[in-house]
Amino acid sequence: MKKTDTKTKAKAPKKAEAKAAKAPVKVTAMDRVKLARDPKRPHLKDFIENIFDDFEELHGDRLVNDDRALVGGFGSLDGVNVLILGHNKGATVEENMEANFGMANPDGYRKAMRLARLAGKFHNPIITFVDTPGAYPGREAEERGQAEAIAKSLEVFALLKTPVIIVVTGEGGSGGALAIAVGDKVLMLENAVYSVISPEGCAGILWRDGTKAPEAAEALKITASDLEKLGIIDEIVKEPAGGAQKNIKAACEYVKKSLKVALKELAAIPVDELVEKRYAKLRKMGNFYE
CA distances from 137 to 46, 69, 103, 142 (A): 27, 13, 8, 7
Per-residue confidence (pLDDT) for residue 77, from 0 to 100:
96
* Eight-class DSSP state of 182: -
* Eight-class DSSP state of 171: E
Per-residue confidence (pLDDT) for residue 285, from 0 to 100:
80
Per-residue confidence (pLDDT) for residue 120, from 0 to 100:
95
E strand spans, the chain? 53-58, 70-77, 80-87, 126-132, 164-173, 185-189, 193-195, 235-237
Per-residue confidence (pLDDT) for residue 223, from 0 to 100:
94
Per-residue confidence (pLDDT) for residue 90, from 0 to 100:
84
- If DSSP codes are grouped into helix, strand and coil, which group holds residue 175? helix
* Cα–Cα–Cα angle for 191, 134, 160, rounded to 5 degrees: 90
Q: Do 131 and 102 touch, CB atoms closer than 8 A? A: yes
Per-residue confidence (pLDDT) for residue 191, from 0 to 100:
95
Query: Which phi and psi (to 5°) does residue 71 adopt?
Result: -110, 145
DSSP 71-103: EEEEEEETTEEEEEEEE---SSHHHHHHTGGG-
In order along its 290 residues, the chain shows pLDDT tens digits of 455 555 555 555 666 565 545 556 688 999 999 999 999 999 999 999 999 999 999 999 898 889 899 999 999 999 999 999 999 998 888 888 888 888 999 999 999 999 999 999 999 999 999 999 989 989 999 999 999 999 999 999 999 999 999 999 999 988 899 999 999 999 999 999 999 999 999 999 999 998 999 999 999 999 999 999 988 999 999 999 889 999 999 999 999 999 999 999 999 999 999 999 999 988 888 776 65
Per-residue confidence (pLDDT) for residue 159, from 0 to 100:
95
Residues 2 and 148: their CA atoms lie apart, in Å, by 84
What homologous superfamily is domain 26-283 in, according to CATH? 2-enoyl-CoA Hydratase; Chain A, domain 1 (3.90.226.10)
**41 Rama sector, left if φ>0, alpha if ψ -120 to 50, beta otherwise:** beta
In sequence order, what are the residues at sequence separation of 6 or more whose Cβ sits closer than 8 angstroms to the Cβ of residue 11?
none
* Eight-class DSSP state of 179: T
